[in-house]
Amino acid sequence: MTSPFSGTATGRAGDRAARKPQLAVVGATGAVGSVLLGILSERADIWGEIRLVSSARSAGRKLTVRGEEVEVLALAEEVFGGIDVAVFDVPDEVAAQWAPIAAAKGAVVVDNSAAFRLDPDVPLVVPEVNAHAARVRPRGIVANPNCTTLSMIVALGALHAEYGLSELIVSSYQAVSGAGRDGVDTLRSQLAAVSGTELGTTPGDVRRAMGDTLGPFPAPVALNVVPWAGSLQEDGWSSEELKVRNESRKILGLPGLRVSATCVRVPVITTHSLTVHARFENEVTVAGAHEILASAPGVVVCDDPAQGEFPTPADVVGTDPTWVGRVRRALDDPRALELFVCGDNLRKGAALNAAQIAEVVAAELTA
């Protein structure tokens, strides 16, 4: 039998089960993995077996997906037997080692790490923008973009298709869950330490109160904003800022796009926000932008300041779309739009987009 769906590692053999693609979730116990299991349970169920995989440390735990308890397997070559699509949410170095192994076993890997995003033989895919790119995958790997890029790119892809994007100047307001569970725990404990105090009014008082509880951040994040995310790269740029530039260019197919990003962490649990100054080849109007965005899949326009309507992380968290508000045309440049954009960094920013890519690949495999 040559169909990729004919063999199942668990021996399920009914006609229907045999036709359904098999999915592996690698990193199932992490922050993004947990959200992914919830998303897989909510969306149309196209999958045969969903196999859960983690590091040896977490293996043996039971997690619920599609209403059923599933035991988590330890990462090993054998777990990819019979798997058609494997979604990876693991650290870069683990992905770099294991994604090629899974691909060699015949799985199409959807990888959420940074390990392959800029590899010219790996497509970087946002289904609403460049689903077609997922079909060409010389290494058997499709990369899922960085969460900050994902928080804006669906809206920008729609505007680009109409107006032709030429420059992006972006500032982020990034949630702590972008730094994983440790980021969330750190903010919660710091908030407990500042609650009921008068901290935040004299130099360094918050930093002294935090002591050694900075967690994954280089400065206190409660009652503060921290202009740093990721690691230091050349010329003072952070890795997060360069990801926004490089990944936006690749997803939009605009290798010469001018991009400047400044990434800043804020005391929000989940949902990244960004201010975007987007310059286009053609003149823009607010009414035109509203129309484009309102009809774009995966985008919600929330833009009526007179009624207090604009997206905020507290309202957007837990939802799937990219929310866009504060749409204005630059007063000094008829080709530039100002936007405020929010997206749940664990859903569209990570797990949801990975699930969507997996579905695109599955549809192709079963077509």
* Interactions with a copy of itself, residue window 213-272 (CB under 8 A): 218-220, 223-228, 232, 235-238, 245, 258-260, 262, 264, 266-270
Site for a copy of itself in 173-202 (CB under 8 A): 173, 191-192, 194-196, 199-202
State yes or no: residue 67 binds a copy of itself (CB under 8 A): no
**CA neighbor of 303 nearest in space, from 280, 325, 282:** 325
Q: Which of 79, 95, 336, 354 binds a copy of itself (CB under 8 A)?
A: 336
What's the min distance (Å) between Cβ of 183 and a copy of itself? 12
Complex with a copy of itself: residue 84 or 344, whichever CB lies closer: 344
Instruction: Evaluate whether 110 touches 131 at the Cβ level (below 8 Å).
Output: no
Question: Interface with a copy of itself includes 326 (CB under 8 A)?
Answer: yes
Given the structure tokens 């729609």, which residue do they identify?
A: 158
Tell me: does residue 74 bind a copy of itself (CB under 8 A): no
- Rounded to 5 degrees, φ, ψ at 129 are -105, -50
Catalytic residue among 132, 160, 263, 272: 272
By CB under 8 A, how many residues form the interface with a copy of itself?
Answer: 73
Among 154, 156, 317, 351, binds a copy of itself (CB under 8 A): 317
The CA distance from 297 to 162, in Å, is 14
- Which of 174, 183, 251 shows the shortest CA–CA distance to 213? 183
- Name the token pair of 234: 């050349």
Q: Does 72 bind a copy of itself (CB under 8 A)?
A: no
Residue 314 makes contact with a copy of itself by CB under 8 A: yes
In the chain, where do the E strands start and end? Answer: 23-26, 50-54, 62-65, 68-71, 73-74, 85-88, 108-111, 141-143, 165-173, 258-262, 272-280, 299-301, 322-329, 336-343
For tokens 């196209």, name the residue: 46
* Cα(260)–Cα(278) distance, integer angstroms: 11
Nearer to a copy of itself, 110 or 194 (CB): 194
When asked if residue 366 is in the footprint of a copy of itself (CB under 8 A), the reply is no
Which of 275, 335, 365, 366 is in the footprint of a copy of itself by CB under 8 A? Answer: 275
Q: State yes or no: residue 324 binds a copy of itself (CB under 8 A).
A: no
Binding-site positions for phosphate read 117
Active site residues: 147, 272
